[in-house]
Amino acid sequence: MAEPIVTYKDVHKSFGDVEVLKGIDLDIYPAEKVAVIGPSGSGKTTIIRLLMTLEQPTAGDIIVDGRNLWKMEKNGKWIHANENHLRSIRGDIGMVFQHFNLFPHMTILENCMTAPVHVKNEEKSDVKKRSIEMLERVGLGDKLDNYPSQLSGGQKQRVAMARALVMRPKIMLFDEVTSALDPELVGEVLNVIRDIAENDDMAMILVTHEMDFALDIADKVLFLDEGVIAEQGTASEVIEHSENPRVQSFLQRFR
């Protein structure tokens, strides 16, 4: 089997006195699709924010592509292990948030182009071509010159996905990307994720409350409960056949 692209080793994270992750051990393999489920406040978002380096761990190792993201200095402070590695892995990880986070003053084409051109210094004409292809792929080829405010929530979320894909990430993180949408717009966004899951070979980590969807696309499901991975297995093992009472009571809400 290939080496994991991401490894968490006994990762802890506290905010002040509150420990929200209490020792996470996890391997994610290239192309693997991982769904993270669990009650609100169990630490799901924190797991992916750590990978995106939006938060620092309190203890433990997070290894991406064979290298640690952080190291501890003698004074006990965490620093980025290697700035070059950090820059390159940030380029390898795409994230889609619950609240879209599009740039309101840019057209949707400009939203897709800005990071590859200004962060990765890629050739503008190549990026433009790829951005148009991605926006067509998510069904927005006729909206290139629109601004985010002119789009529905579902369309904005599809722009956010195209923008992440233009970076050609090795890992895509989706943080409850349908939670802020009106119910009738959820399907169009899930369809785009399904298309990516089926046709692209990147690893995906999805924090989601869409159980049927997780069952459909995830290779592995993690059930997070009070800061620990309380159960993990195939989607069917966790969502359909778990005997863990905490999993069962959590899933009850979705039946």
Cα–Cα nearest to 131, from 104, 101, 164: 164
Give the chain's largest Cα–Cα span: 55
β-bridge mates for residue 96, sequence order: 174
Residue 24: strand, helix, or coil: strand
| 43: contact with ligand ADP by CB under 6 A | yes
Q: What per-residue string of b and e applies to 154-193 under the rule 16 or more CB within 10 Å gives b? A: bbbbbbbbbbbbbbebbbbbbbbbbeebeeebbebbbebb
Q: Which of 3, 10, 25, 41 binds ligand ADP (CB under 6 A)?
A: 41
Q: Min. distance of Cβ 76 from ligand ADP in angstroms?
A: 20
| 254: contact with ligand ADP by CB under 6 A | no
CB 140 within 8 A of CB 108: yes
Stretch touching ligand ADP by CB under 6 A, among 33-41, 85-93, 141-149, 161-169: 33-41
Q: Which of 6, 11, 45, 173 binds ligand ADP (CB under 6 A)?
A: 45
Quick one: 150 or 179, whose CB is closer to ligand ADP? 179
CB 111 within 8 A of CB 167: no
Q: Min. distance of Cβ 88 from ligand ADP in angstroms?
A: 26
Stretch touching ligand ADP by CB under 6 A, among 41-49, 99-107, 124-132, 149-157: 41-49
Backbone torsion region of residue 112, taken as left when φ is above 0, otherwise alpha when ψ lies between -120 and 50, otherwise beta = alpha
Residue-by-residue DSSP string for 58-91: SEEEEEETTEESEEE-TTS-EEES-HHHHHHHHH
Q: Min. distance of Cβ 206 from ligand ADP in angstroms?
A: 12
Q: Which of 28, 33, 44, 128 binds ligand ADP (CB under 6 A)?
A: 44
Q: Min. distance of Cβ 144 from ligand ADP in angstroms?
A: 33
**Number of residues forming the site for ligand ADP (CB under 6 A):** 10
Q: Which of 42, 111, 131, 155 binds ligand ADP (CB under 6 A)?
A: 42
Give residues in contact with ligand ADP (CB under 6 A).
15, 20, 38, 40-46
